[in-house]
């Protein structure tokens, strides 16, 4: 997880360098970048792309990041100077289908930024290795061979029949 705050009064360069360093260092890891970039783009909001947005675009393209924001969402910023879509969620090495229920909340907060809500579904991997044991003592291999041959013949017949049906 990489949290970002880039004040509008400062250049994005230093933040972009820090993010780039982390992305290079952890290139094979699952990465979520969340932050107030104070940048505008038609990728994550309905407004035109500004200079800062182009810098973020370069980062996205350089590292193959995926922007999760819905450009048709509520604005992430609602302050005395107006509304904007300046908060961004980006991921790397995480399937977009695992990010669910992403939204900008309409709940009233004590901040001029709205809450970005989302869930990340965990992967269903089992660390337990499954082993299979076979006991071949007292087995009748002759009967086994007959049954296998019968199954193979049935498969051949079914295959031929299905090909005939396709040709009709």
Q: Note the pLDDT of residue 62.
A: 96
Question: b/e per residue, 106-122, with b = 16+ CB within 10 A?
Answer: eeeeeeeebebeeebee
Sign of CA dihedral 155, 156, 160, 166: positive
Token digits of residue 118: 């989302």
Question: b/e per residue, 41-75, with b = 16+ CB within 10 A?
Answer: beebbebebeebbebbbebbeebebebbbeeebeb
Q: Note the pLDDT of residue 136.
A: 66
**pLDDT by 10-residue block (mean), the chain, 168 residues:** 94 93 96 96 93 96 96 92 93 93 91 92 67 66 78 76 61
Q: Note the pLDDT of residue 31.
A: 96
Q: What is the pTM of this model?
A: 0.71
Q: Note the pLDDT of residue 24.
A: 97
Task: Determine the Cα–Cα distance for residues 124 and 56; give it in Å rounded to an integer.
Answer: 32
Task: Determine the Cα–Cα distance for residues 63 and 24; give it in Å rounded to an integer.
Answer: 8
- Reported as half-sphere exposure (CB side, CA atoms, 13 A), residue 97 has a value of 1
Q: Note the pLDDT of residue 52.
A: 95
Q: Note the pLDDT of residue 122.
A: 86
Q: Note the pLDDT of residue 144.
A: 73
Domains and CATH numbers, the chain: 2-120 (3.60.10.10), 134-167 (no CATH)
């Amino acid at each position: 997880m990489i949290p970002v705050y880039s004040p509008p009064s400062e250049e994005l360069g230093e933040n972009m360098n820090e993010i780039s360093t982390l992305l290079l260092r952890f290139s094979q890891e699952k990465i979520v970048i969340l932050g107030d970039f104070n940048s505008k783009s038609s990728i994550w909001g309905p407004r035109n792309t500004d200079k800062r947005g182009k810098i973020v675009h370069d980062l996205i393209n350089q590292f193959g990041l995926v922007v999760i924001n819905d450009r048709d969402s509520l604005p992430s910023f609602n302050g005395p100077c107006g509304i904007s879509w300046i908060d961004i969620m980006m991921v790397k090495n995480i399937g977009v289908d695992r990010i669910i229920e992403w939204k900008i909340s309409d709940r009233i907060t004590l901040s001029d930024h709205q809450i970005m809500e989302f869930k990340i579904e965990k992967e269903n991997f089992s660390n337990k290795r499954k082993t299979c044991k076979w006991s071949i003592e007292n087995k009748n291999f002759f009967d086994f061979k007959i049954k296998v041959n019968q199954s193979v013949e049935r498969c051949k017949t079914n295959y031929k029949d299905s090909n005939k049906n396709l040709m009709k």
